[in-house]
Structure 1
Amino acid sequence: MKTKRATISLVILLYSVAVPFLEINNTHVFNPDWTPHAKIHEVWQLITNSSIGILCLWLVWVKNELRTSIVLSMLVTGGVLIAYCIQDVYGGSMKYLDDSEKAILGINIGVLGFGISFIFLILIFYRLEHQKNKHSIKLDY
């Protein structure tokens, strides 16, 4: 159970601490080429995701509600993946204005990190559901 909690917590820290750390700078929040409206959406998203992260950590470590924390974290990490998949629809991009991109083996680090995180969350959720169903008593009448 501790490994599951630790893995879930690492995913939460990724979107609630690491992402704001990486985006509160001149490429995002203080980017002079961004419109004020885009900046407010960015800051709103960072505050919302960090707040969800605090709630999820509380759910994991205090309330022992791993499933709820996983679902909320899947909404955050999955939202990034969906936004990436439909970026052509709204003119989005993971590239900076100078056409550079942070990538590992040709895969954007955000997509890679959130993709791996999403998969881990699915696996942990499935494992928890499997354990729950294994321990439940089924009566046939």
Structure 2
Amino acid sequence: MPAPATTGRGLYTLVGLTTAIGGYLADWNHTHVFNDRWPPHAKFHNGQTMSMGLCLGLSTLYYVWRRNPNITAEKDALRISTWLASMYWITQMSAILYPGSRAMDPEFGDGFPQAYLCAGLGLIIWGGYYLESGRIMEMEKRKA
């Protein structure tokens, strides 16, 4: 039995909302935006990252929920949604690879707690993709 039409979209919605507001929830505090030890340029890039998350999250929601005129457009929207939903989290995982980069400032702890969030959201994205692909295949069968 196929998943309900909104199950996959619900998973994308969870990721889209997390991407859109997560940076603000995590960074609008003394560890980032209001950290007096951060130079202005670091805060500039933090603001850029938060704004990028907002744009990617809202774009994910737009593409996953918009009405599409046909199956081809539906497939394209799913691919676009998957890419948009993934970009922020892929780039967050890659940030640790830059010279001198750390996932946390030493005064606030050690480790890479973002890795668990990124991996979990990646699994949710692919779960949503699987469910939405199944929904689209069912649409194709009904049209045939």
Q: TM-score range by the shorter chain?
A: 0.7 to 0.9
The percent of aligned pairs where both chains have the same amino acid is 23
The corresponding residue for 1:35 is 39
TM-score (norm 1): 0.76
**CA distance in 1 between partners of 2:132 and 2:66 (Å):** 18
Deviation at 1:127, TM superposition (A): 5.1
Does the 8 Å contact 1:81/1:115 carry over to 2? no
**CA distance in 1 between partners of 2:121 and 2:43 (Å):** 26
* Greater displacement, 40-49 / 15-24: 15-24
**CA distance in 2 between partners of 1:62 and 1:133 (Å):** 18
Does the 8 Å contact 2:17/2:58 carry over to 1? no
Note the residue ranges of structure 1 that are not aligned, 5 or more in a row.
137-141
Give 3-state SS (helix, strand or coil) of 2:107's partner.
Answer: coil
The corresponding residue for 2:65 is 61
After TM superposition, the runs of 4+ consecutive aligned structure 1 residues lying more than 6 A away are none
Count residues in correspondence: 128
**CA distance in 2 between partners of 1:21 and 1:35 (Å):** 21
Pick from 45, 48, 51 the counterpart of residue 49 of structure 2: 45
Does the 8 Å contact 1:5/1:66 carry over to 2? no
The corresponding residue for 1:119 is 123
**CA distance in 2 between partners of 1:52 and 1:95 (Å):** 23
Aligned amino acid, residue 33 of structure 2: V
Deviation at 1:119, TM superposition (A): 2.2
Aligned amino acid, residue 120 of structure 2: I
**CA distance in 1 between partners of 2:136 and 2:9 (Å):** 16
The corresponding residue for 1:79 is 91
**CA distance in 2 between partners of 1:21 and 1:99 (Å):** 16
TM-score (norm 2): 0.75
**CA distance in 1 between partners of 2:49 and 2:88 (Å):** 10
The corresponding residue for 1:97 is 106
**CA distance in 2 between partners of 1:4 and 1:126 (Å):** 8
What RMSD in Å do the two structures reach over aligned CA positions? 2.4
